[in-house]
A and B are shown apart, each in its own frame.
Chain A
Amino acid sequence: MCRIGAIKSRKYIHPSKALLLMRSQQKGHDNSGFAMVMQDLGGIFKDYKELPILSMACTDEGLNIADNILAEEGFVRAMQWSPETNPDPKLIIENMPHYIFQVLQYPKAFKYASRQEKEELLVNTRLRLRKALEVDEEGYVYSFWPDVITLKEIGDPKDIGTYFGLWEESENFTAKIITAQCRQNTNYDIVRYAAHPFFLQGYTSLVNGENTFYERNKLFQQSLFDGYIGFESDSQCFLYTLHYLNKVLKWPLNYYKHTITPLPHEEITQRHDKTVLLKIKESLTHLEINGPNTIIGVLPDGTLFTCCDSKKLRPVVIGYTDDTVVITSEVTGINEILPERNWENDIYPHERETVVINNDLRVEQWQQ
């Protein structure tokens, strides 16, 4: 089972917290990689909230290819940051030559463009970059979105942390929301894109467990939106469903649970909102999941949430203090970074629950 985790705080936090959160839960294959998405950025990215940031790992040639495409699209570099690395042959890491976090100005032609047009531009550019870099495996583009950076690498999470200097806290590299996993795909070939968290247009998700309805999820999703590609991991489906419901269909978050784990028919027919729930169940039956899963998600507005499969076959726990909320697979992780919290307030969500953390860190438990 993959262990997954998310931290949301009022204060800017450093990724070392995410490493600490995950390290104590490490078991079995949970040492095969490290991936994280940081949202609502502080430090050196704090002043660039509106500008898209490209998160990419690549070769020299990959860098050239990406620069050319970005220039062709009309993007202009505003700032670039690469983490200082500490190469050491003893470290277990399959590192790429370059890790690029580039803040870019939108093309001039988009000066008066609507938000939607800009969002489409970012997705299309990322897909174009990805396609171009995929040809000779010259690089990986993980995200291209304002106020978001993504880092993924294969190896021992402790060593990856050392390589990128993530163990030492620094005010330069912080965020208010960090989602992380210390594992690469282990069931199939190891592919960097297959590591959680997954990110698309402001939406992030991490999932553990098998998606037993992967095949039908995938076949349905691939025709819904251009950005629903890859499917290197069966867990990407959870992100695409979240994005589709909330972003494309503009449905409130509470219908996510109703879509992926619809209530039994008999129960729906007893409810006052049965007509809506039945129609959702009918129309989105191909987005149902039926496996053992826990999902942690982040919405573009910073809302953090978690829910489980309908049989609750995967654990998850939420612990919080006044200024920090942590969602993760096992309580040991929370103990590590929030030892002083009131343990009695920990929440172990049940199979019908969605636990939602708003930007003012209010923890809500929604019943399906």
Chain B
Amino acid sequence: MATIKINEISKDELLWQIEYNSDRCTLCGKCVAACPFNAIEASVEKRRKVINEDSTPAPKVKFQTVPVIKQNINIKNFCRGCGICEKVCPNESIKPVRNTDEKFAMKVRAYTGDSYKRGGRNNLHTMPRALDKIKIGRISQMTDPSLDAQRHTFEMLAPFGRVLPPEQLPLTELNGQLELSKNLPPVRWIYPIILGDMSIGALSGRMWEALAIATAYMNEELGIPIRMCSGEGGMPVRLMKSRYLKYMILQIASGHFGWNRIINTMPEMTEDPAGILIKIGQGAKPGDGGLLQAKKVARHIQEIRGVPKADLLSPPNHQGLYSIEESVQKMFLSMNAAFKFRVPVAIKVSASVTSISVYNNLLRDPYNIVGGFFLDGIFGGTGAAHEISLNHTGHPILSKLRDCYLAAVHQGKQGQIPLWAAGGLGMNGNLAADAFKMMCLGANGVFTGKLLLQIAGCVGNDHGKCNACNTGLCPVGICTQNPVLVKRLDIDKVAENIVNYFIATDQEIKKLMAPIGNSSLPIGRSDALVTIDSSIAEKLQIQYAC
């Protein structure tokens, strides 16, 4: 009886299995060269073949050694299902096939004694999204005519900054005109979608640059006042000294990566940044700090962040901040002071059961320095995380956003600290509808990250495809610093695709504003929404319809 090695990983346990057709393969080698994970390699197989060399039947058995492409079977060079081999194959002779019987992550834990890590999103998402069960149901008909999405003018601007209640405005009347008697907290009116905070490091320099180019283009050429958040990882000095800085929101997170250079560059800045975003947590891995593995800390990343080549772990918490009051006093004050109170400072947290308490506290902001509350839900993406965090921690964004808005309403303070929400928006490919519904539920605006990567060419999905952002081997050059892989990404094309996507999104938002008869954003217009799910209706306080 033959022996087998039960305790070694085998092909039937892998996430993906390579389906290879040697009859079609021309052995060009493109797939092997293109696979960044070394999941396949050139190999040989012994083949038994029955042949006939005579003119009359005289079958002979012949053994041949034929060159083939073979899947590697180990826990390091395993196939992620990215499909790059299939993309490059001229003959459709190779492709990854999902293995529904896989046990891979379990095996990795068992072999390495380490938690399983990957990038992407929560992959346990199998239920339809609550957002998709909500429709824009209050369509103007005869009582209040619908507008014309093409011909009417629409104002699509959202506040970023601390909005004071009217009774606190230092207004004095002079000859029937009101005048302001002192300076007030800065508020910027920007497009209601912010390009999400993804750092240089998590992203390749090319990907990040393409986002920055798209941002500048939309502002300067299209008049779409969109802003981009740097992510925690600093920014190129050239950009900080340029006029384009005004379109950038600088992020500071618990690792403070990149801030040394930001501070040193301040005297040379010719424009103020659009804002500062203090990141406390993110939706994809709440309560967990950032994780940039050493293999992604390339030379230029070391320079921008001011760090050596090593695993870069942002602590799960900002050191020294133990309460909301402290954060307001220390971080908010120092960040406001850094730019002499000219730049709005906002905060981003993971959506959590406690979000309302945090928001309630911030709303009582005694110093008028909290310029925005960013809430990030469970379906946000990440470059790298422990899978257990990705799959099993977090809070859906929808009800949390609504709860926070209604908490503000309860205090009579809605709009004073603008609410921005994210976490899986645009997951179904349409950001406009998601953004619109979030605004109706009380968000002043939304932010988006993962969607941008998908527009750029990310091949991953939420069903275990690719999800290799953590490896530094992104097969499409988005989440890697590998000089060969990043060249796969065409910066200009990515920027163009993102710009086009937002032109379409802008149109689509108008196509939703027009039927409800609004020419300005429908913040808090929950009366415009209906849902076919009574439990969603009850939770979000919107109309149930069937």
Residues of A at the B interface (CB closer than 8 Å) are: 187, 209-210, 212-216, 219-220, 223-224, 248-252, 254-255, 264-265, 273, 275-276, 278-280, 282-286, 288, 290-292, 310-311, 313
- Given A212-B144, A251-B173, A252-B173, residue A286 in contact with residue B524 (CB < 8 A): yes
Q: How far is the CA of A313 from the CA of B145 in the complex (A)?
A: 8
Of B161-169, B210-218, B347-355, which binds chain A? Answer: B161-169
Q: How far is the CA of A250 from the CA of B167 in the complex (A)?
A: 10
Closest CB in chain B relative to A261 CB, distance in Å: 10
Q: How far is the CA of A290 from the CA of B152 in the complex (A)?
A: 13
Q: Are B520 and A290 closer than 8 Å at their CB atoms?
A: yes
23 contacts between A and B (CB under 8 A): A212-B144, A212-B516, A212-B517, A214-B527, A215-B524, A219-B409, A251-B178, A252-B177, A265-B155, A265-B157, A265-B189, A273-B178, A276-B177, A276-B178, A280-B166, A280-B169, A283-B166, A285-B163, A285-B523, A286-B414, A290-B520, A311-B152, A313-B145
Q: How far is the CA of A210 from the CA of B140 in the complex (A)?
A: 10
Q: How far is the CA of A276 from the CA of B172 in the complex (A)?
A: 10
B518 interfacial by beta-carbon distance below 8 Å: yes
Closest CB in chain B relative to A43 CB, distance in Å: 35
Closest CB in chain A relative to B253 CB, distance in Å: 28
Q: Are B177 and A209 closer than 8 Å at their CB atoms?
A: no
B143 interfacial by beta-carbon distance below 8 Å: yes
Instruction: Please indicate the chain B residues that have their CB under 8 angstroms from the CB of A292 in the complex.
Output: 144-145, 517
Please give me the residue from chain B that is nearest to A216 by CB atom: B524
Please give me the residue from chain B that is nearest to A287 by CB atom: B166
Instruction: Please indicate the chain B residues that have their CB under 8 angstroms from the CB of A248 in the complex.
Output: 167
Instruction: Please indicate the chain A residues that have their CB under 8 angstroms from the CB of B152 in the complex.
Output: 311
Closest CB in chain B relative to A2 CB, distance in Å: 10
Instruction: Please indicate the chain A residues that have their CB under 8 angstroms from the CB of B409 in the complex.
Output: 219-220, 223
Q: Are A264 and B526 closer than 8 Å at their CB atoms?
A: no
Instruction: Please indicate the chain A residues that have their CB under 8 angstroms from the CB of B169 in the complex.
Output: 279-280, 283
Closest CB in chain B relative to A255 CB, distance in Å: 7
Q: Are A219 and B414 closer than 8 Å at their CB atoms?
A: yes
Q: Are A285 and B519 closer than 8 Å at their CB atoms?
A: no
Q: Are A283 and B163 closer than 8 Å at their CB atoms?
A: yes
Q: How far is the CA of A284 from the CA of B414 in the complex (A)?
A: 10
Q: Are A279 and B525 closer than 8 Å at their CB atoms?
A: no
Instruction: Please indicate the chain A residues that have their CB under 8 angstroms from the CB of B415 in the complex.
Output: 220, 282-283, 285-286
B179 interfacial by beta-carbon distance below 8 Å: yes
Please give me the residue from chain A that is nearest to B176 by CB atom: A252
**Other A-B pairs beyond A212-B144, A220-B409, 4, CB < 8 Å:** A212-B518, A251-B173, A285-B163, A286-B415
B171 interfacial by beta-carbon distance below 8 Å: yes
Q: How far is the CA of A145 from the CA of B305 in the complex (A)?
A: 68
B484 interfacial by beta-carbon distance below 8 Å: no
Closest CB in chain A relative to B100 CB, distance in Å: 47
Q: Are A251 and B155 closer than 8 Å at their CB atoms?
A: no
- Select one of A187, A252, A284 contacting B143, CB under 8 A: A187
Q: Are B414 and A210 closer than 8 Å at their CB atoms?
A: no
Q: Are A249 and B145 closer than 8 Å at their CB atoms?
A: no
Closest CB in chain A relative to B371 CB, distance in Å: 12
Please give me the residue from chain B that is nearest to A215 by CB atom: B527
Chain B 131-151 against A: per-residue CB contact (8 Å), 1 yes, 0 no? 000000000100111010000
Q: How far is the CA of A80 from the CA of B338 in the complex (A)?
A: 68
Please give me the residue from chain A that is nearest to B143 by CB atom: A210
Q: Are B184 and A279 closer than 8 Å at their CB atoms?
A: yes
B58 interfacial by beta-carbon distance below 8 Å: no
Instruction: Please indicate the chain A residues that have their CB under 8 angstroms from the CB of B173 in the complex.
Output: 250-252
- Given A223-B412, A251-B171, residue A282 in contact with residue B155 (CB < 8 A): no
Q: How far is the CA of A250 from the CA of B524 in the complex (A)?
A: 27
Q: Are A276 and B179 closer than 8 Å at their CB atoms?
A: yes
Interface centre among B143, B169, B520 (most CB of A within 10 A): B520
B159 interfacial by beta-carbon distance below 8 Å: yes
Q: Are B526 and A215 closer than 8 Å at their CB atoms?
A: yes
Please give me the residue from chain B that is nearest to A275 by CB atom: B180
Q: Are B140 and A282 closer than 8 Å at their CB atoms?
A: no
Please give me the residue from chain B that is nearest to A212 by CB atom: B517
- Given A273-B177, A288-B520, residue A220 in contact with residue B145 (CB < 8 A): no
Q: How far is the CA of A299 from the CA of B187 in the complex (A)?
A: 33
- Select one of A216, A276, A282 contacting B523, CB under 8 A: A216
Please give me the residue from chain A that is nearest to B187 by CB atom: A282
Chain B 511-546 against A: per-residue CB contact (8 Å), 1 yes, 0 no? 000001111100111110000000000000000000
Closest CB in chain B relative to A260 CB, distance in Å: 12
Instruction: Please indicate the chain A residues that have their CB under 8 angstroms from the CB of B178 in the complex.
Output: 251-252, 255, 273, 276, 280
Q: How far is the CA of A224 from the CA of B527 in the complex (A)?
A: 21
Instruction: Please indicate the chain B residues that have their CB under 8 angstroms from the CB of A210 in the complex.
Output: 140, 143-144, 517
- Given A213-B525, A251-B173, residue A282 in contact with residue B180 (CB < 8 A): no
Q: How far is the CA of A282 from the CA of B164 in the complex (A)?
A: 8
What are the 8 A-B residue pairs with the smallest beta carbon separation, nearest first?
A223-B412, A210-B144, A216-B524, A215-B527, A283-B166, A282-B163, A290-B518, A210-B143
Q: Which residues of B (156-201) have their CB < 8 Å from a CB of A?
A: 157, 159, 163-167, 169, 171, 173, 176-180, 184, 187, 189
B153 interfacial by beta-carbon distance below 8 Å: yes
- Select one of A212, A224, A251, A290 contacting B412, CB under 8 A: A224
Instruction: Please indicate the chain B residues that have their CB under 8 angstroms from the CB of A265 in the complex.
Output: 155, 157, 189
Q: How far is the CA of A254 from the CA of B164 in the complex (A)?
A: 21
- Select one of B179, B517, B519, B525 contacting A215, CB under 8 A: B525
Q: Which residues of B (33-76) have their CB < 8 Å from a CB of A?
A: none
Q: Which residues of B (231-279) have their CB < 8 Å from a CB of A?
A: none
- Given A209-B144, A252-B176, residue A291 in contact with residue B517 (CB < 8 A): yes
Closest CB in chain A relative to B139 CB, distance in Å: 11
Instruction: Please indicate the chain A residues that have their CB under 8 angstroms from the CB of B143 in the complex.
Output: 187, 209-210
